[in-house]
Amino acid sequence: MAVMKKSGDKKEVPAISTASLPDVIFMILFFFMVSTTMREQEVMVRYKLPQATEVAKLEKKSLVSTINIGVPASHMQAQYGTAPRIQLNDSFKSARDIGDFIGAERDQLNEADRAQMTISIKADQYTKMGIITDVKQELRRANALKISYAALEGEGY
């Protein structure tokens, strides 16, 4: 009561209980464990994916191999330049190496799954089609015909 309050009366504010803090943090933790996937490879190129409206989700992650195409990341430009490059696994390669890459990726899959293998092409939106066409021709040569052009879901024009 205000009347009883004297000047100099030091009333202690009760400490905020932190007993439920671990529970809250665990909840956030579980959310992240469920909704994210492990990073598989370091992406060495910088890309901004194009936008599309008709995108479909890639179903089985284990059957998907990724080809990254774009300008090398800024800390690598001193070494690799600024022209768009193709990244396979953890290094920059040329289109000619795609056959070997597909072979290696295919060997890692079960025999039954090999026909289902999908190649996800993650290319920067400012890439020229020349490099993409080369990649596509190599994929056809390697008989990896199921592809997916990675794109962000957007509004459309």
Partner 1 sequence: MGNNRKTPEVRADSQADIAFLLLIFFLVATTMNSDKGLSRVLPPLPPEDVKVEDQKIKDRNVLLVFVNAAGQIMAGDESMDIRGLKEKAKEFITNAADDENLPEKKDTEIELEDGSKWTYPVSEGVISLQTTRDTNYEVYIMVQNELARAFNEVRDNVAMNKFGSVFEELNEDQRNAVTKAVPLKISEAEPRQGAKK
To partner 1, the closest distance from the beta carbon of 105 in angstroms equals 15
CB 104 within 8 A of CB 91: no
- The reply on whether position 50 binds partner 1 by CB under 8 A is yes
Residues 70-129 that bind partner 1 (CB under 8 A): 118, 120-121, 123-129
CA distances from 97 to 43, 56, 93, 104 (A): 18, 28, 6, 11
**Residue whose CB is less far from partner 1, 44 or 147:** 147
Question: In the complex, what is the shortest distance from the CB of residue 95 to partner 1, in angstroms, rounded to a whole number?
Answer: 13
x/- track of binding to partner 1 for residues 132-151 (CB under 8 A): xx--xx-xxx-x-xxxxxxx
Instruction: Tell me the two tokens of residue 148.
Output: 């997916």
Q: Which residues contact 69 (CB under 8 A, 6 or more apart)?
A: 45, 47, 84, 85, 86, 87, 121, 122, 123, 124, 127, 131, 132, 135
The 10-39 site mask, x for binding partner 1 (CB under 8 A), equals --------xx-xx--xx-xx--xx-xxxxx
To partner 1, the closest distance from the beta carbon of 10 in angstroms equals 26
**152-153 vs 51-52, strand pairing mode:** parallel
Least Å distance, CB 78 to partner 1, is 25
